């Protein structure tokens, strides 16, 4: 009888912490999903800002009457990179943004400011 009691006690000492850990992990997942769902407006705003940066880059390039190839050579990147920046698919690095600002004759802050 004592051996059976020890097995039950040992099982409880193992199962209760495992069950608590499982419940804790589920709570963490639920919190993460809620935070992700609530962050949707912030992601939409970030996407809009990326788009406006691309628009400003395209507008400045057109104002200066430069081709994407010329800009790419001047900055030291591929033409596809310039295209991605202008389409909002990706953002230029800080160094490339400063180079673009110098090339277009504007400040980096002007390229980054919100419309």
| 41-45 contacts, C-beta under 8 A, 24 or more apart | none
Higher pLDDT, 21 or 44: 21
Measuring CA to CA, how many Å separate 40 from each of 12, 28, 29, 30, 109? 42, 19, 17, 16, 26
Give the pLDDT mean for 6-25.
87
- What pLDDT does 48 receive? 65
| Token pair in block for residue 56 | 């400003």
Number of domains in the chain: 2
- Shared domain for 51 and 33, answered yes or no, is no
Domain that holds residue 15: 1-38
Condensed to tens digits (0 to 9), the pLDDT of residues 48-105 reads 665 588 989 999 999 999 999 999 999 999 999 999 999 989 999 999 999 999 999 9
Q: Count Cα neighbours of 97 within 13 Å in the Cβ-side half-sphere.
A: 16
């Amino acid at each position: 009888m004592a051996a059976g009691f020890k097995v039950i006690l040992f099982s409880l000492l193992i199962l209760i912490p495992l069950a608590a850990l499982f419940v804790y992990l589920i709570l963490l997942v639920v919190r993460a999903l809620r935070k992700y769902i609530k962050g949707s407006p912030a992601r939409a705003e970030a996407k809009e800002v990326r788009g406006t940066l691309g628009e400003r880059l395209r507008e400045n390039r057109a104002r200066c009457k430069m081709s994407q190839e010329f800009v790419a050579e001047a900055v030291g990147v591929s033409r596809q990179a310039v295209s991605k920046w202008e389409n909002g698919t990706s953002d230029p690095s800080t160094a490339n943004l400063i180079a673009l600002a110098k090339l277009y004759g504007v400040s980096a802050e002007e390229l980054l400011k919100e419309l």
